[in-house]
Amino acid sequence: MVSGGIALLFLLIAVVLIIFFTARYNVNAFIVLISISFVYGLAIGMPVTDVVGKIRDGFGGTLGYIGIVIVAGTIIGFILEKTGAALAMTQAILKLVGKKNSPLAMSIAGYVVSIPVFCDSGYVILTPLNKALAEETGRSMAVMSVALATGLYATHTLVPPTPGPIAAAGTLHADLGTVIGLGLIVAIPAMISGLIWATKFAKRYQIKAELAESYDDLVKRYGTLPGALHSFLPLLVPIVLILLSSIAAYPTKPFGAGGFAKFLAFIGDPVTALMIGVFIALTLVRKDQLRTAVDSWAGEGIKNAAIILAITGAGGSFGSILKASPMATFINTNLAGLPLGILLPFFISAALKTAQGSSTVAIITTASIMAPLLAPLGLNPALTVLAIGAGAMVVSHANDSYFWVVSRFSNMPVATSYKAYTTATLLEGVVAFVCVAILSIFIH
């Protein structure tokens, strides 16, 4: 293969080409990402059979986790829209925060949901509510989607039991309670920065929520909406199950290691939990509509998920090629020797995140690099975990499956997503790191 420096140069060219073709000429992102994956792999000298293998493995590996989750979440969303449950949830949240604060409501919802749930899954779960709020309040989906996406991102990279932060805490032997406590604190200003960016900057892009029916039409047609608690259950039950599964997997084994813990691991797996959510959502359907719900509504949900699945898998293919290139080793080697203190884990994580797309991969990889450097550099393990998490927000763009989930589920054109969402993740990551740097002055 070529040297790491050349591979990094080719990566920069590849990213420019992705942005150019998807934003300037609106070429389908699936075609662009798969094509660039082939071109990049061959350009760096990867054996042709390895190129095909990495593209295949990356596509299948990505969809292996999130594919069923996306489909199940989309079906739940369709049922919540059709039954009026999303409207009932909208009204309940608006009573708490007020109609004028709907972006704040979604930021807070994202902050809470993404503590136990992958941000991709959380965005899928909360999208119906987000669209209903946008329709009810007259907000652009650019505002609502950025507010929700950054709220989810804040805790996704900073607060265990999300897999990335909890894995980093274990690798660096950081006290998990300290990581959770400080992570919750750091995630608040990060979330707020995303909210401010959404309400002050993203509002210039007017994007209408594409609901099957408008808020007023649904209210008129359904008359009495489902109860608020019943409406929330298809969302709350999967979230609680996933949270219990995460708690059961803690090193302290609070539920033991027997049958009950294994049962929690089974029902709390995102795939199992979301499928349970589908069946709970079906209890919202009137008896005379049940056949339509399991046939037409579910079918529409699956069709809506297809394009997202294709693009998400293609993003996984590109990320797989990048991970196999010498570029990552080059970045690690050249950055690891610089005397940057708490900046070092942030920079390494940010470089890996931006290069290969996955926040979780960036967090885990950076933690393994930093493990032998903590003592020589005198870094606090918990703060190092948070610095790594802050870097893993910078930046979400075309090689990140979450970028495509946010873009497609919110109906944002790719060019608008770069301007409104990608820039928000840059700001959010920097704000999170500044908070970590301030904490490092007082915590050693």
Q: In this structure, are residues 159 and 185 in contact, taking their beta carbons and an 8 Å threshold? A: no
For 179-214, how does the pLDDT look when each residue is reduced to its tens digit (9 = 90+)? Answer: 888 898 999 999 999 999 999 999 888 888 776 555
CA dist list (Å): 202 to 145, 363, 413: 9, 28, 13
Alpha-carbon distance of 56 to 52, in angstroms, equals 6
Alpha-carbon distance of 90 to 138, in angstroms, equals 13
For 246-262, how does the pLDDT look when each residue is reduced to its tens digit (9 = 90+)? Answer: 788 777 788 888 889 99
Amino acid at 100: K
Residue 259 CB neighbours (<10 A): 8
By residue count, the chain amounts to 444
Global pTM?
A: 0.68
Which of 362-384 are b and which e, b meaning 16 or more Cβ less than 10 Å from the residue's Cβ?
A: bbbbbbebbeeebeeeebbbbbb
CA dist list (Å): 15 to 36, 284, 399, 431: 9, 44, 8, 25
For 69-88, how does the pLDDT look when each residue is reduced to its tens digit (9 = 90+)? Answer: 878 887 887 787 778 777 67
Residue 168 CB neighbours (<10 A): 32
For 270-309, how does the pLDDT look when each residue is reduced to its tens digit (9 = 90+)? Answer: 889 889 999 998 998 887 778 778 878 888 778 877 877 8
In the predicted model, what is the mean pLDDT of residues 88-100? 76
In the predicted model, what is the mean pLDDT of residues 229-240? 86
The reported pLDDT for the residue numbered 426 is 96
Residues 6 or more apart whose Cβ sits within 8 Å of residue 345: 366, 370, 379, 384, 387, 388, 391
Q: In this structure, are residues 213 and 221 in contact, taking their beta carbons and an 8 Å threshold? A: yes
CA dist list (Å): 3 to 14, 125, 331, 362: 16, 43, 11, 21
Q: In this structure, are residues 48 and 42 in contact, taking their beta carbons and an 8 Å threshold? A: yes
